Structures are given as C-alpha cells and as structure tokens.
Amino acid sequence: MDIDTRPRPLPTHRPHHHPRTVAAAAAWSAGCAALALWWLVRPGDYVLDDGISPTPSSPLALVEPRPAAAALLVLGLLGVPLAIALGRLRAGDRARGPLLAAGGVVTIVLGVLVPDVQLLSFLGYAMALAGPPVLVVLLAVGARRSPRNLLALAAVGAAITIGVLAGEIGSPTVEMLRGIRGGLERVGPRPLVLAVMLLGGVLFGALILAAARRGAAVGPIAPDPWQRRGRVATWVAAACPLPYVLVRMTWLTPWPLGAPGGVEALDGGIRVFGLLLGLAALGGSVLTVGLISRWGEVFPRWIPGLRGRPVPVAAAVVPAGIVSAVLCAASVSLVMMSLQGSPWLVLLIPAPVWGPALGIAALAYHRRRTAGAPGPASAADPLAAR
C-alpha cells in the first residue's frame, strides 16, 4: 500500500466571531445608560461616591454624583454602537485604530477607574468563609482513595480543637460573623453595582481581544511565545499573595503585624478570621501554580468522581480571570490608599503586578490547552493526555 508523502498544510489560525459577547456588551451599555439616567433623576440613590469611607478610595469617588452619573450616561449611550462596531471590525478597516482605542478607554474606565478595593475585600471574605468547608468536604470524600487525606483532616481537627480549648473559636467567632453581617448591611448594594461596572470592562476587553485576533494574519501556527511569558507570569502571580499570607500568620503570635489597634484589639474572632484570610490567599497561590502543573490539566486522584479526568479549560481560566479582573480593579484604589497614609498597603497586596500577571498566566494556559500544545501533563506523562 502506498503511503501519501505529500506535505500537508499546517494548522492555521481562523478568525472567531463572538456575537454573544457583542450582544452582552451592547445590552450592558443600555443598562448602564438607564442606571445613570436614574441617578441623574434621583441623585440620592447614587452609590458610587464611597460615602462609607473617610478618604476617597477610587478616582470616581473624587467626582460629584451628578457629573459622574452624566459621564456614565454618555458612556452607556456610546457603548451600544461601539460594541456593535467592534464586533464587525475586520483587518484593514480604516476605523480599526480609533475603534480599538475607544474600546480600550472604556475597558480602563470601567475595569480600573470606577471600581475600588471593596470588590477585592468581598472576594477575599467569600473565599475565607467558603474555602475551608469546601476543602474539608473534598478531603473527607476523597480519603477512601487517598489515605493521606486523613493526615490533612487530622491536622484541621487538631487546629480546631486547640482553638476551642484556647477560647479563640466559639463565641468570638460568632461575634465576628455578626460583625461581617453588619458590615454587609452598611455598604448596601454598592459592591453589586461595582461588580456590574467591572463586568462592563471585562466585556469590552473581550471584544478588543477578539477584534485583535481577527486582525491577525491567517497562516501557519508558529511556536507560541506566550508559553514562556505565561510560565514566568504564573510564578510572579503565585508569589504576590505571600507577603499578605505572612502578615496574617503573625496575628497568631504576640507580635501581630498590621493589626488595627495593636495586639490588645485582637480578640479570638479577629484572629481566626485573619487566619482564614491568610489561608485563602495561600490557597490562591497554590491554585495559580496549577496553571503550569500537571494537576492543573488532570484532576488529582484524591478528588472523588473526577480523578484522572481532564480539567475543563473554563474551570481554571474563568476563576483566574475573575480574580485577575478584581485585582486590576483594585490597583488604582490600593495606590491611592497607599499615598494617603498607608504606604505598606500596595506592598502587602501588590495588585498592580498581581492582577496583570495572573491574567497573562490564565491566557497562556488557555492558549496551550485550546491549541493542543504540549503542556505539563503530556510532558510529565505521555499517557495523561489520552
């Protein structure tokens, strides 16, 4: 039997269209215009002035409600045709440069200048409260296949027992949870509105990336330079939360760093919650390393029902993308707060570096998994990719 030895064409990049993203961005813009119009009619309902903070924590907090609402109204009205134009943009269009620049301005305004550090705080609180129970359940269910899980569960049980006997866990923890609930009631719907604004920046950012990809030359797929950049960015992103983790761990000692009011103000509930926040940041660091690790592509054997199966790309990219967007949104806010008397804050939470690095790491992971390039899983075990 003859073997066809004729050269075959290499895989090529193909343009991708995202009509759902265009529709979502246009709908978001219309909703933004309607909300801004409501604020102009009823300025008392405006929630982006950060009235709960003694010092401005975002550029938008420096603007009076009516001018800010008017600017958001204009942005929303212009966002509808801009989203449609970006969706139809092709390589060679004369308006390509101005449209991409306009989309970039909208992305920066909504994704960086409007939100503040409050979104990052709420994300950290959610991870601190939900992370430990989820981890314990996974360890307990997977202990049958991986007996090593029993050691981790024993360590968790010992820590809880010591905390209860020392009086750090119990009524102080309940009081701490009540304090969190009271804080949520005080801030009202502001975090939700900030999240909606950030969503607009993410949508327009996605449109810009899609338009840029459509403008790329169609041809053979060359070696992806993003993989080397992605590996470096992953290690940078994984290292960024470590200063915060170390500081939170000192709250368990007689010499707490960065504790408001000093050691006398640290009751059991605050110490426990500080520990949970530190562990949440540490968990984020570990999960970031998964973007370049084998277990980030194939579920470990101790995870029940999923062991040995490929990790869905979205299961890694979507959470990393959300955290990256929230960190980028908090960057300007953290810098402003650092300049207003807390110079250590941006060093403790280096969001201006952490956010972009995590975004690049997630992008490189997505490109590797969707392009079929050899990754950590196939490099470590050729059978793992089958």
Question: pLDDT per residue over 256-287, tens digit each?
Answer: 776 666 666 666 667 777 888 888 899 899 99
Report helix angle 65-88 to 96-108, nearest 10.
140
Q: Is 130 inside any structural domain? A: yes
Can you give the pLDDT at residue 15? Answer: 45
pLDDT tier at 74, thresholds 50, 70, 90: very high
Task: Supply the pLDDT for residue 383.
Answer: 36
The vertex-108 CA angle with 107 and 109, nearest 5°, equals: 95
| Residue at token pair 């090593």 | 148
What does each C-alpha distance from 300 to 46, 132, 137, 148, 231 come to in angstroms?
47, 19, 15, 13, 21
Does residue 218 belong to any structural domain of this protein? no
Is residue 131, in this structure, part of any structural domain at all?
yes
Tell me if 11 is assigned to some domain.
no
Residue 352 lies in a domain: yes
Instruction: Assess whether pLDDT exceeds 80 at residue 1.
Output: no
Give the residue numbers spanning the domain of 138: 19-212+225-372
pLDDT digits 0-9 by tens, 314-357: 999 999 999 999 999 999 888 888 888 777 888 899 999 999 99
At 9-46, the pLDDT tens digits run 444 444 445 788 999 999 999 999 999 999 999 888 88
Residue 219, domain member (yes or no): no
What's the average model confidence in pLDDT over 212-234? 68
Question: Domain total for the chain?
Answer: 1
- The answer to whether residue 31 is domain-embedded is yes
Lowest-confidence pick of 53-62, 108-117, 215-224, 347-356: 215-224
Does the residue 277 lie in any domain?
A: yes
Mean pLDDT of the chain: 79
